[in-house]
Amino acid sequence: MFWRLVFQLLRGSRARLTVAILALVSGAAVISGLLNLDFGVEYQLTQQFRALGANIVVTPQPAESAPESALTNPALMHEGVVLSHLQQIASPNISYAPFAYVVARSQGTAVVAVGTWLDELRILNPTWKLQGNWISARNDQTRCLVGRNAATQLHLTMGSPLQLQYLTRHSECTVAGIVNSGAADDDQIFMSLQALQTLADLPGKISVAQLSVSGNPKLIAGVASQLSAALPQLQVRPIREVTDAEGALLGRIRLLIVSMIILILVLTALCVLATMAALAMERRADIGLMKALGGSISRIVGFFVAEVGVLGAAGGLIGALLGAALSYWMGLRVFGAAIPPRWEVFPLTIVLMTIVAMAGALPLRMLGEVKPAIILRGE
């Protein structure tokens, strides 16, 4: 009987309640979309910032601050020591590679030769443009990549043989691709780490190790701290320009999202408030009749609170479905990748809209002041 009366009330005020349900659906759609965006923005920002390259660098301690236990040559590190600790923290979210640098000569011209894991270059530098082919074999000693400035200076094209000389030692490789990075890498030649160590007679030595950690700034700082504790004789530092920018941007976006959600909740509550205030005035005669027939005010108000609760839940459910599509579209427009809906957003949106609808039902308190005698007299 209770719910039959509730649905009769809904049917009897369809025109005015349509305004309230539209406000609830609109508010729920935007809130659901923003919540989905908030849950997905961290991952999307992480992927965007990973395109900037490595965000943690392991280097030797500066000579003036290196402890007695540091490496004999402060400009180099033991490859095995560094890689053994990097392997311990290895995960799908962490990419890393060692690098060694020497100044060699080619055709009588000084060039910077870089030895590294060739298969990791593309992962650590996703924004590089390559004319030619990436090298998928980590220790391919027959092929190399050349920066576009170095290729122009040495008159190299894809497939050209490249000879390098360091002191009395020589190395030769074939140019597999020409790198366009827009940075200092365009002046360098990239070859396998083993080939460069042989050329420079630096077995087991590296100059630096670079890591690309997918995660928020807190996770990146945690990985850096873990490595610092494991390698006290070396300098482990996050690249602050990348991690700080990521953290600041993420914080601003989340502040904007939270502010928008609060504003939309307030505006939706005000719209429901205005609708319910007008509805309460229209139903004074019905309330007076119910009270004259012996209905308690708590029971009568319960009908209208249940009515508002149904409106809030229905508006929240419909809006959550629309918000999932909205977040999908926003992800494509902002990040170029769809943001999938998060299932926890659906109950959260329904609960928020139900609370907002209840807050908007405050004018129903006026129903307790209705006098049956005055209403029955037609006053």
Q: Where are the beta strands (DSSP E) in 136-168?
A: 143-147, 161-166
**7 and 102 assigned to the same domain:** no
**130 and 210 assigned to the same domain:** yes
Predicted local confidence at residue 72, as pLDDT: 38
**107 and 164 assigned to the same domain:** yes
**104 and 190 assigned to the same domain:** yes
What whole-number distance in Å separates Cα of residue 83 and Cα of residue 79? 6
Give the relative orientation of helices 14-50 and 345-359 as an angle to the nearest 10 degrees.
140
What whole-number distance in Å separates Cα of residue 253 and Cα of residue 270? 26
Domain boundary among 217, 238, 259: 238
Domain boundary among 238, 271, 304: 238
Domain boundary among 186, 209, 238: 238
Predicted local confidence at residue 305, as pLDDT: 74
What whole-number distance in Å separates Cα of residue 230 and Cα of residue 218? 18
Predicted local confidence at residue 74, as pLDDT: 45
Residue 231: what are its φ and ψ, rounded to 5°? -125, 70
**276 and 131 assigned to the same domain:** no
**64 and 89 assigned to the same domain:** yes
Q: Which domain holds residue 355?
A: 2-47+247-376
**184 and 270 assigned to the same domain:** no
Q: Which residues contact 204 (CB under 8 A, 6 or more apart)?
A: 78, 79, 80, 197
Predicted local confidence at residue 311, as pLDDT: 81
Q: Are 246 and 44 in contact (CB under 8 A)?
A: no
Predicted local confidence at residue 199, as pLDDT: 94
Buried b (16+ CB within 10 A) or exposed e, 128-146: bebebeebeeeebbebbbb
Predicted local confidence at residue 5, as pLDDT: 53
292 to 156, 158, 287: CA distances (angstroms): 99, 95, 9
**226 and 358 assigned to the same domain:** no
Positions of the chain with pLDDT under 50: 65-74
**265 and 144 assigned to the same domain:** no
Residue 301: what are its φ and ψ, rounded to 5°? -65, -30
**188 and 73 assigned to the same domain:** yes
**166 and 217 assigned to the same domain:** yes
**Number of domains within the chain:** 2
**255 and 223 assigned to the same domain:** no
Neighbouring-strand partners of residue 34: none
- Nearest residue to 96 via CA among 75, 123, 134: 123
Predicted local confidence at residue 131, as pLDDT: 93
